[in-house]
Structure 1
Amino acid sequence: MDRVQIVHDNFLSRLAAGDFPPGKRRQDGLAPDRALDLFRAQVLSRALDIQSRAMQKAGQGFYTIGSSGHEGMAAVAAALRPDDIAFLHYRDAAFQIARAQQSGHDSMLRDMLLSFACAAEDPTSGGRHKVLGSRPLMIPPQTSTIASHLPKALGAAYSIGLARRHAPEHRCLAKDGLAMVSFGDASANHSTAQGAINAAGWTSVQGVPLPLLMVCEDNGIGISTRTPAGWIKASLQHRPGLRYFEADGLDIYATFAAARDAARYVRTQRKPAFLHLRMVRLYGHAGADVATSYLPRADVEADEANDPLLHSARLLTDAAVASADTLLQIYQDTLADVAAEAAKVAKRPHLKTAEDVMSSLIPPRRDCLPTNGPDQTDRDTLFGADAAQMQAPQPMSRIINWALHDLMLEHAETLIMGEDVGRKGGVYGVTQKLQARFGRDRVIDTLLDEQSILGLAIGMAHNGFVPMPEIQFLAYLHNAEDQLRGEAATLPFFSVGQWTNPMVLRIAGLGYQKGFGGHFHNDNSLAVLRDIPGVIIACPSSGSEAAQMLRECHRLAREEQRVCVFVEPIALYPMRDLHAEGDGEWMTTYPPAGTRIAMDTVGRHGDGEDLAIVSYGNGHYLSRQAQKVLEDDGISVRVIDLRWLAPLPEKALLEAVNGCAHVLIVDECRRTGGQAEALMALMAENAVGSYARLTAEDSFIATGPAYAATLPSRDGIVAAAKALLG
């Protein structure tokens, strides 16, 4: 039978008969008119759920995961301020509606129907997805891949305290605000949620301000898998650094009181709290889900008997806030209003073309204060004795370090965060002296959790900071890549550019480390980054180039709100020599402050017309070595340094190889999924002529003497070049 109709009929008949589920008497705290407003929000949430299913059946709607059973979240909204940033569970329509009431936002009914219909006029996502969210209501749109929004909520909370000490140019969160994040009991078991909860407690016990309210909506089931009775309370009640609150989420008075107390604690103590609300799930997981196919009918009917709208009706009639007839009229009028508006919304236009869909992949530029480079007096004081060495050739690691110093000196909103980046100065010393010179607020030593590192960066960006998180090794990114794929990169897309996550993610990576670490410290695969729409990937090969590209990535993040990934080849950090020991030819001087390398350019070394070798990173270094060998054999060669791996600088690359008889692509990443695949396709599509590729094998990297056995080498490049030339 249609469970939606059953719940609807039960509400009508039981309300008319005064047959309410049992519960406690109402608590004080909610004024009568506010309590009635919350009921209206609950009813509108329910009516939208009903209508979403009707729209789907008519081919007019495309999303049916609803909020029925979770309408108590309206009371949580009432306990918070409209300027408290809220990262919502997908069952929180009642929260968004109640917040709209607080803010005088009177178009929420239509806005949410536009979202159901994927209409191009949807003010949240522009018709790209049904998401809760609103820029005016301080609710970032959320399409969480199971709890992936918790780490960034932690970052936003952290940013509130930090912004009180170091106000960023584009701050948008109130000084005394808090960050709220909600999620289900099933999601609480996900490693992402557990990591964020742990990170919140870890931060709190160290006395670091973290105004974060975590709300667990416990309906006892995740799709078809039961949550053990008492599991959430037993596992969360006594977590270090975390204050636990609980309430019956079916009771708007009790929920409001608990949420008010939890929010007061978070706001005044600047510490995280966990609010555990017990709820029910009505209608199953989504429209196509039949709960009685995997749950006993008695259990389903027991939840339906506990309908939160009936609980609210009991509380409101007992308190003489409204009569049963008044509540019934609100319910029926709301159903009618929603149905009438849905008929109009169904006629609104949709996105049609690829251009329509993709128009929000790239976030909009934002106005920034002009910059003229760091103050020279401050710079001289900051660098001290280091300043005298800047005119002498240096290895890449030191030049990147100086570039980070200059960026942080010039831009006070720039932050670095990651494991070991502060006191230790990074595993390879790239962030040495930064914490001593800029303080622990701006160079943040984090716990060992890549999801929390990236979540911290994403949340900080919500409050106007320009984060530069560091992932210690490329292989460790895989623990947290969804923070880029599912959160940072998608946010402009799903918000029509209203929300962004600008950052420069620095990753030490790629291969060729002699005898150290095997594949965990020598990871030569960038495939998981290359296919994320909108993400910029940079990979320098020399120190001067690294500094100028890093500055450009920072500019792209700060001014154009882009997500940039800056891959630093570990093996090139200390590299000094190119052809012979002691020649010092791979070291460079520090480029003048402010100089940058644009992402639509490539590097070119030599003017040979016999062969163009296209590479990047370590491959570029080896190709330069091979260039000398080949030229000694009478072959004229030019070496092209890609620098930018996504988006590929296609026009500049084609111009750079123009006039060459042959093109050899050298890719230190694997044959499958490497950059060479796209480069070979580019050559074919543009009829370049004779071309070939030399790549790493489809293999992990060994430790010890065989560290480079599966990777391109100088001699391998020479052999491949001669084979191509015939």
Structure 2
Amino acid sequence: MDRAQIVHKNFLDRVNAADFPAGAAPSGPLAASEAVGTFHAQVLSRALDLTSRAMQKAGEGFYTIGSSGHEGMAAVARALRPTDMAFLHYRDAAFQIARAEQVPGQRISWDMLLSFACSSEDPTSGGRHKVLGSRALMIPPQTSTIASHLPKAVGAAYSIGAAKRHQPEHQVMPEDAIVMCSFGDASANHSTAQGAINTAGWSSVQSTPLPLLFVCEDNGIGISVKTPKGWIEASMAQRPGIKYFKADGLDIYNAFAVAREAAEYVRTRKKPAFLHLRTVRLYGHAGADVPTTYLSKAEVEADEANDPLLHSVRLLNEAGALPPREALKVYTDTCARVERIRAEAVTRPHLKTAEDVAVSLIPPKRDCSPTNGPRLEERAAAFGSDMRAMEEPQPMSRLINWALTDLMLEHGEIIMMGEDVGRKGGVYGVSQKLQQRFGPDRVIDTLLDEQSILGLAIGMGHNGFVPIPEIQFLAYLHNAEDQLRGEAATLPFFSNGQFTNPMVLRIAGLGYQKGFGGHFHNDNSLAVLRDIPGIVIACPSDGAEAAMMMREAVRLAREEQRVVVFVEPIALYPMRDLHAEKDGGWMRTYPSPDRRIALGETGVHGEGTDLAIVTYGNGRYLSAQAQAELAVRGVNARIVDLRWLAPLPEAALLEAVKGCKHVLIVDECRITGSQSEALMALFAEQGDAPTARITASDCFIATGPAYGATLPSKDSIVEAALKLAGAKS
């Protein structure tokens, strides 16, 4: 027999023999009926674990990672309200089951077995993954996260207080809600967890309302690596701003009492708490993992002897709530019932086509109240003297600032956040005056942690806000990229569009900063973003287009619930001149607030047919310089500006280059992983003109005079264009 069957047999034998593990007597506020209900949830969780393993062996189920040993989370669920958003550890089936008992109309056994079978009728993911989660139960689905859900839990908790001050149109959580997130003791060591816990404490000591309950389920091991004895308490009990609670997850009475005390503290004080819950892990980590390959048999059997279900039977008997013979009948009847449901669930349909699987990548649109912009007097008061400056051409940084101002005036649910975005006005001044105009709770100066910045945005998106987080430099995104890939982009996919976290992520990036910062401040690779399914990537090249694209980005987030990454070319922020000093050729006037550039709409500059230069960002600026020189040399070129890098506007690009004899792609990113790869494939497969490309070298960017040595330049564009067009250089 495998360990699951051994644990199952041990339970039957020991209950029949009244052989129970020792423990404290039942005490606390858990009523008899609630205790019995909690036991029912524990038993159902165990029965589902057994059935999921059998389903996998029979080829009827997939990806088993069980909750056995963690059934004490059913008591934690009873201590919370079903309107408290819960971001769950993957071993928390008992929590979800217990919560389902608090919400009328749930069919939790059927729903979870559909998930095990990956049926397209699974109400959570639609057959895309075996996940815990439920819209009705306020549980956003998680996959096998290693603490990556903690930053967004911090953000969701922050959003509850923020919603009292600026109520979003699509608010999800009630004002008296709290947020709970659970995770394992091994995950607590992950930098993502440490960052989130640190952010919670950092916020709490500044009296920022943050009703958040961390629950660490401590079973003493992470797959095969043991957690040092006493490590979680030693490292977490004295965290500034976070109150520590400790409970025994093997004792449903103690777990409920302490969890209720912790939840009440969080709810009334609006401060974070850390609940350290003792658990055991039964079987192995997941699937076919065999614990005796890395633990002694005695260690495995010691955990099995502490089966929380055996503890619960003893406690219920001592409390006079449920005799052991009736508890045993609950167990055997539940196992039989789950098997009967399994027989039907495995016959339900599955996803079949690529289209079926991918349909939830794009969130559903939502109805939004119409807006006509702010009143004239409000706008005049916000802009002040800037109103007069709008009549004159301005550089990109200022036009983005004005666009953000207009958008924040129009949509009260927009919240900006990032390091230095408020009081300082951003590293490059793009967000100057915004905190003065809208206050520190709408333009939030965060601590220095990109994971927490993105987590704050994701969590606020869960509660109806439209966040605009900022990452100071593109290279800094790599510290937190999984918050996009593993959290923001996957949420609609794994929830079948039921949960979303819209945002517009602003990133100052790309190269061409003269003599400053090397590759940390001149990162010319967007590859880390390009392969994230479902996100939108925007990259403007002049100020007017930046303003109009920003408006579209916000519309996409607000109305279509999209995750948009808005890459702003740093070198073009202050750019004024194009061909000669003080010609003002790259400044633009501010477009009226009703104008925007739609997703997928490319820009075409010039009518030449000898050559189409396809580019974006800094490439458009350099190509505009080259375009003038090419004309002198007899090559009439048009410039096609992508604007939207993902999804790639293929039809618009093919239309834009129609009639051109040659196509030259100018890509400021490195040759490997750059947009040019997709563009070359597009024009090779669907175009009919000879195509070439010029890109940056596969090299980091240097500081000092060599800042542009690895990047395309006006001269290199001219040379490549002349060669492609067959003209004399």
Partner SS, residue 132 of structure 2: coil
Q: Which residue of 1 aligns with 2:403?
A: 403
Give yes or no for contact 1:609–1:638 (8 Å, CA) kept in 2: yes
Contact 1:183 1:216 in 2 (8 A): yes
1:630 alignment counterpart = 630
Q: Deviations over 1:55-113 (max 9, x none)?
A: 01111000210000000000000000000000000000000000000112430000000
Residue identity in the other structure for 2:224: S
Q: Are 1:591 and 2:591 counterparts?
A: yes
Q: State the shift of 1:381 in Å.
A: 1.0
- SS in structure 2 of the partner of residue 214 of structure 1: strand
User: Which residue of structure 1 aligns with residue 44 of structure 2?
Assistant: 44
1:367 equivalent in structure 2:
367
| Alpha-carbon separation, structure 2, partners of 1:94 and 1:433 | 49
Partner of 1:261: 261
Letter in 2 for 1:723: K
1:415 partner SS: strand
> 1:286 deviation in Å?
1.1
Q: Give the superposition deviation at 1:594.
A: 1.7
Contact preservation (8 Å) 2:72, 2:308: yes
RMSD: 0.6
Secondary structure, aligned partner of 1:640: strand
Distance 1:210 1:122 in 2: 33
Aligned to 2:709: 709
Q: Which amino acid aligns with 1:323?
A: P
- 1:145-203 Cα distance to aligned partner (Å, 9 max, x none): 31000000000000001111111101010101100000000000000000000000000
2:452 is the counterpart of 1:452: yes
**Is this contact kept in 1: 2:118–2:127, CA < 8 A?**
yes
What SS does the corresponding residue of 2:373 show, helix, strand or coil? coil
Q: 1:653 is paired with a residue of what secondary structure? A: helix
Partner residue, 2:518: 518
- Which AA in structure 2 matches 1:209? P
CA contact (8 A) 2:667 2:694 kept: yes
Q: Secondary structure at the match of 1:706?
A: helix
Confirm whether residue 564 of structure 1 aligns to residue 525 of structure 2.
Answer: no
1:455-494 correspondence to structure 2 within 5 Å: 455-494=455-494
Distance 1:56 1:641 in 2: 51
**Residue of structure 1 equivalent to 2:204:** 204
CA displacement, residues 654-709 of structure 1 (integer Å, 9 cap, x when unaligned): 11100000000000000000000000000001132211000000000000000000
Does the Cα contact within 8 Å between 1:375 and 1:410 map onto a contact in 2?
no
Indicate conservation of the 8 Å contact 1:144/1:486, yes or no.
no
User: For the residues of structure 2 that align with 1:27 and 1:369, how far apart are their CA atoms?
Assistant: 52
Pick closer, same or farther for the CA change 1:106–1:170 going to 2, 3 Å.
closer
Tell me the residue number matched to 2:385: 385
Helix, strand or coil at the partner of 2:22: coil
2:183 — aligned with what? 183
Q: Percent identity?
A: 74
Question: Are the equivalent residues in 2 in contact too, given 1:161–1:210 (CA < 8 A)?
Answer: yes
What SS does structure 2 have at the residue aligned with 1:507?
strand
Q: In the alignment, what sits opposite 2:270?
A: 270
Q: What is the CA distance between 1:144 and its match in structure 2?
A: 4.3
Deviations 1:426-459 (A, max 9, x none): 0000000000110011000000000000000000
Match of 1:21, as an amino acid? P
Instruction: Give 1:675's aligned residue.
Output: 675
Tell me if the contact between 1:511 and 1:523 (Cα under 8 Å) persists in the aligned partners.
Answer: yes
Q: Secondary structure at the match of 1:141?
A: strand
Q: Show structure 1 runs of 5+ residues with no match.
A: none
Per the TM alignment, residue 287 of structure 1 is displaced from its structure 2 partner at its CA by 2.1
Alignment of 1:249-648 (within 5 A): 249-648=249-648
- Secondary structure of the residue that 1:359 maps to in structure 2? helix
Tell me the SS of whatever aligns to 1:133: strand
Mapped contact 1:510–1:524 kept (Cα < 8 A): yes
Residue 12 in structure 1 maps to residue 12 in structure 2: yes
Q: Distance in 2 between matches of 1:82 and 1:145?
A: 22
State the distance in 1 between where 2:480 and 2:490 align. 15
Q: 2:145 and 2:607 mapped to 1: Cα distance?
A: 49
Q: Is the CA contact 2:212–2:271 (under 8 Å) kept in the aligned structure 1?
A: yes
> Helix, strand or coil for the counterpart of 2:140?
coil
User: TM-score, length-normalised on structure 2?
Assistant: 0.99
SS of 1:360's equivalent in the other structure is helix
CA contact (8 A) 2:540 2:569 kept: yes
Partners in 2 of 1:600 and 1:63 — Cα distance?
38
CA distance in 1: counterparts of 2:405 and 2:143, whole angstroms:
36
Q: TM-score, normalised by structure 1?
A: 1.00
Cα pair 1:76 1:256 within 8 Å, conserved: yes
Q: Deviations over 1:1-29 (max 9, x none)?
A: 41111101111111111111010111120
Shift of 1:496: 0.7
Runs of 4+ displaced beyond 2 Å: none
Measured after TM superposition, the shift of residue 375 of structure 1 is 1.6
Query: What aligned pairs does 1:57-96 form with structure 2 within 5 A after superposition?
Result: 57-96=57-96
Equivalent pair of 2:244/2:275 in contact (CA under 8 Å): yes
Q: Shift of the alpha carbon at 1:339?
A: 0.3
Superposed, which structure 2 residues align to 1:677-692 within 5 Å?
677-692=677-692
- C-alpha distance in 2, partners of 1:487/1:355? 22
Give the equivalent residue in structure 2 for 1:136.
136
**SS of 1:468 mapped into structure 2:** strand
Which secondary structure state, in structure 2, belongs to the residue aligned with residue 707 of structure 1? helix
Contact in 2 for aligned 1:144/1:487 (Cα 8 Å):
no
Matched-pair contact (CA < 8 Å) for 1:458–1:488: yes
Asked whether the 8 Å contact 2:247–2:258 carries over to 1, the reply is yes
Q: Is the 8 A contact 1:544 1:590 kept in 2?
A: yes
Task: Tell me which residue corresponds to 1:26.
Answer: 26
Could you tell me whether the CA contact under 8 Å between 1:367 and 1:559 is conserved in 2? yes
Query: Structure 1's 230 and 105: CA in aligned 2 closer, same or farther, altered over 3 A?
Result: farther
Match of 1:127 in 2: 127
Instruction: Give the structure 2 partner of residue 108 of structure 1.
Output: 108
Q: Give the AA of the match of 1:610.
A: D
Deviation of 1:391 after TM superposition, in Å, equals: 1.0
| CA deviation map 1:584-604 (0-9, x unaligned) | 010000000121001121111
Q: Which residue type is aligned with residue 557 of structure 1?
A: A
- Write the letter of the residue equivalent to 1:214: F
Do the aligned residues in 1 keep the contact of 2:89 with 2:145 (CA within 8 Å)? no
- Conservation of the 8 A alpha-carbon contact between 1:572 and 1:618: yes
Aligned partners of 2:443, 2:633: CA distance in 1, in Å? 50
* Aligned equivalents of 2:73, 2:205: Cα separation in 1: 29
Q: Which runs of 5+ in 2 are unaligned?
A: none
3-state SS of the aligned residue for 2:467?
A: strand
Cα offsets for 1:386-435 (capped at 9, x unmatched): 10000100000000000010000000000000000000000000000000
